[in-house]
């Protein structure tokens, strides 16, 4: 048990999927895992452990933004022994070739700053995904026939962005999508010798203004969860 995770020793699996929304964690656990039990409810941040094809899996909310994710990932790794951490979440598309409902596999994560910036000081550390997870996720997506893009994403500090010039440069340099957590996840995984990946569903598009209706999100997000699970145990 830690300050933010009320689980007991052995409650959390080495493989953890991390949606931002705690209720998405509940939905994913109940939809894809067997023998599910709730292992955390502290501050309303729900976590569940069950099995997928006989493999122990925890699905735990991370909250919105890198500072929130950093709290949970630090505790999951250092106190509960998590070894493989996969963010499953939504993102905004930033290239015309990327469509709403597509999946993005984040090879790298650009950021303006992260909670780890104080450690790196003057170094511009380049956080990236675990290659084996990335390759396995790409293979799983191809087998499912899910439209998928592999490349760089942008982890923003803010949701209500008032710096359109930054977005313009991200688009110009081929960034596929924007979200708010992956860069710090990759930093922490590198620091603690763990595996990490972000598997993201494009829920809206910054260039076209298109957005996925709420009643269609679950099916699209289901592809993302299945890809993450297949990658974790490939």
Is residue 88 marked as binding?
yes
Is residue 184 marked as binding?
no
CA pair distance 46, 24, nearest whole angstrom = 9
- CB contact set of 117 (below 8 Å; sequence gap of 6+): none
Q: Select which of 193, 204, 215, 223 is catalytic.
A: 204
Is residue 94 marked as binding?
no
Is residue 65 marked as binding?
no
Give me the DSSP letters along 139-171. HHHHHHT--EEEEEEEE-S-SS---HHHHHHHH
SS3 30: helix
Is residue 180 marked as binding?
yes
Tokens coding 48:
């569940």
Is residue 195 marked as binding?
no
CA pair distance 121, 116, nearest whole angstrom = 9
Is 204 annotated as catalytic?
A: yes
Is residue 179 marked as binding?
yes
Is residue 181 marked as binding?
yes
Cα separations (Å) of 97 from 138, 153, 168, 180, 229?
Answer: 17, 14, 16, 21, 26
**DSSP 8-state code for residue 104:** E
Is residue 14 marked as binding?
no
Residue positions in the annotated binding site for phosphate?
Answer: 20, 24, 43, 87-90
Which residues are catalytically annotated? 204
Residue positions in the annotated binding site for a purine D-ribonucleoside?
Answer: 4, 179-181, 203-204
Residue positions in the annotated binding site?
Answer: 4, 20, 24, 43, 87-90, 179-181, 203-204
């Amino acid at each position: 048990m830690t300050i933010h995770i009320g689980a007991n020793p052995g409650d959390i699996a080495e493989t953890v999927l991390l949606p931002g929304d705690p209720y998405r964690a509940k939905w994913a656990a109940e939809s894809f895992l067997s023998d599910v039990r709730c292992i955390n409810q502290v501050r309303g941040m729900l976590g569940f452990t069950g099995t997928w094809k006989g493999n122990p899996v925890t699905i735990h909310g991370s909250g919105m933004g890198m500072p929130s994710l950093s709290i949970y990932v630090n505790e999951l790794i250092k106190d509960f022994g998590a070894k493989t951490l996969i963010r499953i979440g939504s993102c905004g598309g930033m290239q015309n070739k990327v469509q709403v409902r597509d999946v993005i596999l984040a090879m790298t994560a650009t950021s303006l700053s992260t909670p780890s910036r104080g450690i790196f000081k003057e170094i511009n550390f380049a956080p990236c995904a675990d290659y084996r997870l990335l390759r396995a996720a790409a293979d799983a997506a191809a087998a499912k026939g899910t439209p998928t893009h592999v490349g760089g994403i942008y982890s923003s500090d803010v949701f209500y962005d008032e710096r359109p010039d930054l977005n313009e440069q991200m688009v110009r340099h081929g960034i596929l999508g924007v979200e708010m957590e992956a860069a710090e996840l990759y930093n922490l995984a590198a620091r603690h010798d763990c595996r990490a990946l972000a598997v993201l569903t494009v829920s809206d598009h910054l260039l076209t203004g298109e957005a996925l209706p709420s009643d269609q999100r679950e099916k699209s997000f289901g592809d993302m969860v299945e890809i993450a699970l297949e990658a974790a145990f490939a």
